[in-house]
Amino acid sequence: MKLTNRNLHRDIAYFYIGLIIAFSFSGIILNHRQDWYPMDYTYEAKEVQLNIPADPTILDSEDHIRQMSTQWDLASAYDGHRLRDKDLRIYYKDNIILDVNLETGKGVLEYKRKVPFLGHTMTLHKSTNSFWIWYSDIFGLAMLTIAITGMMITKGSNSFKKRGWKLALAGMLFPLLFLILFP
């Protein structure tokens, strides 16, 4: 097979079609995550009541959080916590989260699962795994190759040289204007 821009463009696009679709879906979802975030869903939730210590700074102690977690048999699953203003969030392995209001001691213990397909594509999109980062970099180079070879495929009056550069320029100006107008 002769290696032409058309063949290179087509074959790279075929190879990466699954990742293109996955990143497209997850990118759209991540853009709207404040409205809809389908990475996980809650399959079980329990209301809990905590006795808040007189000195709430003790809640910043991992030992105290682990000890407190024994009441749900989650001490060994402790995976971190966050204190923000009047809220405590405790993360446990296996996608279990406890949110507690520190003024009332009321909280919700949620058991979550990843949403099939959408949740998994978002995991890929946000991954910090070193292998995946390299693979994503190669994917980025492949997208550049698809863009460059795509510019060279068409000949004649619809070629990049005659017509395509105007659309490409307009396509590049739009995000630049957005960055300037809405910093």
Local confidence pLDDT in tens for the 183 residues of the chain: 677 888 888 899 999 998 898 888 888 888 888 887 788 889 999 999 988 888 877 888 899 899 989 999 999 999 999 988 889 999 999 999 999 998 899 999 999 998 888 888 888 888 888 998 999 899 999 999 999 998 888 888 888 888 889 888 998 898 899 889 987
Q: How far apart are CA 123 and CA 144, in angstroms?
A: 23
Of the candidates 175, 173, 160, 111, the residue with the CA atom closest to the CA atom of residue 9: 160
What pLDDT is attached to residue 1? 63
Q: Which long-range contacts (CB under 8 A, 24 or more apart) does 158-162 make?
A: none
Q: How far apart are CA 16 and CA 144, in angstroms?
A: 12
CA distances from 177 to 52, 90, 171 (A): 51, 42, 11
Extract the tokens encoding 32.
Answer: 């709207």
